[in-house]
A and B are shown apart, each in its own frame.
Chain A
Amino acid sequence: MDEQSISLTVNGTEQNGEAEPRMSLADFLRERLGLTGTHIGCEHGVCGVCTVICDGMAVRSCLMFAVQADKKEIRTIEGLADGDTMHPLQTLFSEQRALQCGFCTPGMLMTAVDLVDNNPSITPPEIKAGMSAVLCRCTGYEGILKAVEAYAKQIKGV
C-alpha cells in the first residue's frame, strides 16, 4: 500500500512522516516517531490504554489512523512533564499509589489531563465516570481516583 506524507505537531514539535492509510496513530507514534510511551492494550478501542490528546481532546490512538492526524496537534505521555519537572498529575499518581505495572498509566494520565484541564469544575463522580474510560488491572482504581481528584482541586486552587 502506498504511504502518504503527513505533518503534525507532537508535544510541541513539528513532525513529518510517512504512513500507509491503514496505519494507526498509535503505531505511527510508536514505530515512526519512537514515542513508545503510548501503549497498546486492545486495539479495539475499549481499554483506553493508548489514549493521547488530539487538538485538546482525548482520543484512542488505536482507533485513529495516522493520516487522520495530519495537521493536528498531538500530545502524548512524553509531552506531559516539563523536562525534569514532573507534571502535577505524575507526582500525584506516585504519591497516591495510582500505578503498579504502569502499562495503563500513560492512558490514565492523558485521560485525566483531558478531563480536568477541559473541565476545571469537575466533580468526583464525574471524575469516576470519566476515568472509567481506561482500564487498569493492577490497582483497583482507588489511588487513581484520589490522584485525579487532588489534581482537580489543585487546578481549582482549592
Chain B
Amino acid sequence: MPDTIPGYIGQSVPRREDKRLLRGEGLFVADIQLPNMLHVAIARSQFPHARIKDIDLSKALSAEGVELAISGEDILEQLPPISGMQLATPPGYQERVDTDIQIPDQPLIPHEKVRFVGEPYALVVARNRYLAEDALELISTDFDPLPPVATTDKALDENAPLLHEKLGRNVAAILHTKKGQGAEALKTAPHRLKRRFYHHRYAAMPMECRGVVADYDARTDTLTIWSSTQVVHWVSREVANSLGMPEENVRCIAPDVGGGFGGKGHVYPEDILVAYLARRLQRPVKWIEDRHEHILNSTHSRDNIYDVEIGFDNDGRIETVVSDFVVDSGAYSPIGAGIAGNSIAHMLGPYDIPNYEASSKIVLTNRTPNAPYRGAGRPEVGFAMERAVDLVANELELDPAEVRFRNMIKADQMPYSVGLTYRDGVPIVYDSGDYPKALERALEELGGLKSIRKRQKDALRQGRYIGLGLGCYVEGTGVGPFEGATVKIDATGKIVVATGACPQGQGHETVFAQVTADLWKVPIEDVYVTVADTAHVTMGYGTLASRSTVTASGAIQLASDQIKEKAFAIASGILEAGEKDLELRDSGVGVKGVPGMHISFRDIATAARPGWGHKRPEGIDAGLEATSYYEPPTVTWAYASNAAIVEVNPGTGQVLIENYVEVHDAGVLVNPAIADGQVKGGLVQGLGGGLMEEITYDENGQLLTGSFMDYLLPSASDVPPITVIHQETPSPLNSLGVKGLGEGGAIAPPVVIANAVCDALRPFKAEINSTPVRWGEVAAIFGDDPFKATSTTTTPEMEK
C-alpha cells in the first residue's frame, strides 16, 4: 500500500458535480428522451390483501395511443419473481447467530393475489404518460378482498391468514444470538428494568422518485437501462438473469440520481419490467414513478417493536441486555434479514456489557415492503437501547450522562472485541476511537453538564421545561463483500477511474478524484472519474450501507498498485535506474533526488502500448490498466455522541430544539465539507423521523399518508441550530484510515429528542418510549395541573 502524504485528501475540494447541477444541466432518469419512446403507467392495488379473480384489459388496449397492456398472468411464463433468498448470509455468521430464514420471492406483477396497497397488478404502455394513465382508468378488475394482516401482532396470531401460503407462516426470518450468560444474567443482576419500545414507520423519501428507461438494440441484442438506483450492477445482473441475456449485453447506468438513502438500494420489479418491455416492443420505454406511487410502492423503513429487559448494578453498570424485537417487514423483504441483523449487531453500542441476548422475528404483513433506509436497523435498536440507558439512570437517580460514562468502552480498551458476529460473518472488533471523549465534547459544546443542569433547575423554577437529550451509537461501515474499480493511464497521460459505486449526491466524482490524485501525486484535474455505469467496471456492488469511501477507495488503491508496478518497471528501463530509486512525482516517475531524471505518465503510457515501438522490459504486459476488487477484512467502526437541549412548551407540547450537537468519528475525512454535509443531512432526516415524518395505516391495512400533504418532510424552518464536530481517529483497517459516514447522522435524533423531552418532564416522571414524539401527547403529560400529573405516552401498539 502506498504512503498517504498530505495532498488532496483532507481538503474541502469544490465538487465537480456542482456545475452541471447548478445550471440545470444534470441528467436525471426523467430527463432522458429517446426517439420513438413509449411510456408506462402502472395499475396499483387499492386493497391490502385480495385475490385477483379477473383483470380485463380489453378497453385499455383499445384506448388512444396504447401499445400494450399486461397483467401478471401475461408475464407468468416469461419473467421469474425476484428471488427472496439471493442475499445469503456469509460463512461464519451462523456460527454465532441462529437463523431460520425464509424470505419470500417477489413477483414482478402478481397474478394470484395482491399483498399491499400499491402493489402492481397491471401496466399500460402508451405514446405518452397522459394517455397511459388514461388507459389505466379503463382496466376493469374483479378482486376478492382477503382478511388483511395489518399488524405484526395479527400476523403472528396462529389463526392469521397467510400472506405467502408457500411459506406456511407470516415470518420471513428468525434470528437469535447470545453473548456471555445472556438472559441468565438477569437472575443475578441487582436491578432489572423491562420496557417496550416502538420505532415507527417512515421512509427514505428522496426528492427524486424512482424511474427507469430502457432501450433495446435488436441488431446487437443489447439492452441499455438507465435507472435511478444505488446498485447498477445488481440491476444489470438481475435483468440479465430474468431475460436470459448475457450480463455483458445488459448495461445499467445510474445517471444523476436525486437522493436514495437506501430506498433505491435494491432491485425493484420495475427495473426488470421496463427492460422486458423495451425488448418485447423493440422501442425505448420509460417509467417515472410519481410521488403518490413512490409513497405507496417504494420501500418504507423502521417500524420495529422492541421488548427489552436490562440488568444492572447499584452503580448503573449494565450487566446484561435482553432484547426481543419484531420487524414489520411488509409484504416482502427485499434485503432479507439485513435490518434485523444490523440491529442485533449494534445494540450494545459503545458500552462494555458482558452479557447479551437478542431474538428477532421479521414479520410479513400487508404493508409496503420494508428495506434499509439510512441507518438500517441502527436507529431502531438505538432508540430502544438509549432510552433504556436513560431509564436505568432514572431508576438509580443518576445523571444519564454519568451512566453512559460508567458503561462506555474506554479508549485504552481499543481495539475492543465485542463477542458478537457482524453481518459479514466476522467477529465484531471495534477498531478505534475514544467514545467517552466524544460524549464529553458534545456536552462541552452545550456548555458542560453542570451548567446545563443548573440552567435546567433555574428554568424549572420559572415554569420552563428544558431538557438534555443524549444518544450514543457505534456504526459498522464500509461493509463488504467487495467493491470494484478500474484504473488506467491513457495515451494522454490522464488517469481514468471507474468504480462500482453509485452516488446519489455524495460527491463521489470529487472524492475519488482526490483519493486517486493523492495515490498518483498528480493534479486533481488530471484524474477523470466515472461512476454508476456497468460498462466501465465489470463487477461492482453499489452505494449503500455507508460503504463507498472505504470500499471503492480500497479498490482504486489495489488497481493503482498493479499499474504502478508496471509503470515503475517501464520507467526503470527508460531512466536506467533501479526501481527502488524511483518515485512518483510531477505527473510521472522520477529518480529520487535527481531533478532532471523523470518520465511523464504520458510517455510511460506510450512506452507501455502494445506493438512494435513499445519500451517495456521483458515480462511486463502491455497497457497501463487494471481492475481490482477490494474485499474489506470487515467493517470499520464509526461512532458518535449526540446531545441536544430542548424546551417543551407546557401549553402546546411543542418541542423546540434549542441546539443539537453531534460529535462524529468517521476516521480520516477525505473531503471535510462533504463529510460535514453528509452528517448534517442525516441529522435532519433523523429529526424529521423523530418529530414529523410518519407513514400510517388504518386497522385494515389501508395507507393513510399517500402524499406530501400527509407525509411531512422537514423544511428549512424546521431545522434547529446544529453543530457537527468531527473527531478523526483513523481506522487501522485501511491505509487511508477512512470509515464510512453516510448514514450516521440519521441514527440518533429520534432517541435524543425522546430523551430530551423526558428529561425536561422529569417532574412528571414522563416516559416517551415510542416515536414520533407527538406534541399532543407531550402536552397531555402536563394534564390539567402541570405540577401534579404523571403520565406516559403510548401508541396503540404499546398496549400489550
Contacts and interface: CB of A to CB of B under 8 A. Distances in A.
Q: Do A and B bind each other?
A: yes
Interface of A: 20, 22-23, 30-31, 34-44, 46-47, 49, 76-78, 80-81, 86, 90, 93-95, 97, 99-106, 109, 128-129, 131-145
B144 interface: no
Contacts of B175: none
B22 A109 contact: yes
Contacts of A76: 24
Interface string B707-719: 1110001011111
Contacts of B206: 101, 103, 137
Contact of B504 (A35, A41, A86, A101): A101
Given A101-B206, A101-B259, A131-B716, A44 B291 contact: yes
B21 interface: yes
Contacts of B18: 93-94, 99, 102
A86 B23 CA distance: 8
A35 to B, nearest CB: 7
B207 interface: yes
B346 interface: no
B173 interface: no
Contact of B680 (A40, A90, A104, A142): A142
Main SS class of interface, A: loop
Contacts of A43: 290-291
30 contacts: A30-B30, A30-B31, A35-B24, A37-B24, A39-B30, A39-B207, A39-B208, A39-B258, A40-B30, A42-B707, A44-B707, A44-B709, A77-B24, A86-B22, A90-B23, A94-B18, A99-B18, A100-B681, A101-B21, A101-B258, A102-B17, A102-B258, A105-B22, A135-B715, A136-B207, A138-B677, A138-B681, A139-B680, A141-B715, A145-B716
B534 to A, nearest CB: 21
A47 B384 CA distance: 32
The 7 closest A-B pairs by CB, nearest first: A37-B24, A102-B21, A103-B258, A101-B505, A77-B24, A100-B505, A140-B684
- B interface majority secondary structure: loop
B722 interface: yes
Contact of A102 (B22, B130, B673, B713): B22
A100 B708 contact: no
A16 B205 CA distance: 36
Contacts of A133: 715
A81 B259 CA distance: 25
Q: Which of B21, B205, B685, B713: most chain A CB closer than 10 A? A: B21
A141 B722 CA distance: 11
B680 A128 contact: no
Q: How large is the interface on B (under 10, 10 to 19, 20 to 34, 35 or more residues)?
A: 35 or more
A123 B259 CA distance: 30
Contacts of B20: 102
Given A40-B30, A137-B261, A141-B716, A99 B708 contact: no
Contacts, number: 165
Nearest to B24: A37
Given A20-B130, A102-B258, A137 B680 contact: no
Given A36-B31, A81-B23, A145-B716, A22 B130 contact: yes
A96 B258 CA distance: 19
A103 B716 contact: no
Contact of A137 (B23, B130, B256, B685): B685
B681 A46 contact: no
B708 A46 contact: yes
Given A99-B18, A102-B256, A47 B717 contact: no
A97 B716 contact: no
A47 to B, nearest CB: 6
Contacts of B481: none
B267 interface: no
A40 B258 CA distance: 11
A85 to B, nearest CB: 11
Contacts of B722: 140, 142
B291 A41 contact: yes
Nearest to B677: A97
B153 to A, nearest CB: 32
B13 to A, nearest CB: 12
B24 A106 contact: yes
A22 B129 CA distance: 12
A128 B21 CA distance: 22
Interface string B251-267: 00000111101000000
Contact of B21 (A80, A99, A141, A143): A99
A49 B30 CA distance: 14
Contacts of B506: 100
A93 B17 CA distance: 12
Contact of B207 (A35, A80, A97, A104): A104
A49 B24 contact: no
A105 B17 CA distance: 12
B146 to A, nearest CB: 31
| A30, A101, A129, A138 interface centre (most CB from chain B within 10 Å) | A101
B676 interface: yes
B22 A90 contact: yes
A98 B674 CA distance: 11
B713 A135 contact: yes
A34 B33 contact: yes
A2 to B, nearest CB: 12
A94 B14 contact: yes
B22 A103 contact: no
Contacts of A144: 716
Given A43-B290, A137-B713, A145-B716, A101 B208 contact: yes
B677 A143 contact: yes
Contacts of A132: 715-718
Given A41-B207, A97-B677, A140-B680, A102 B505 contact: yes
Contacts of B763: none
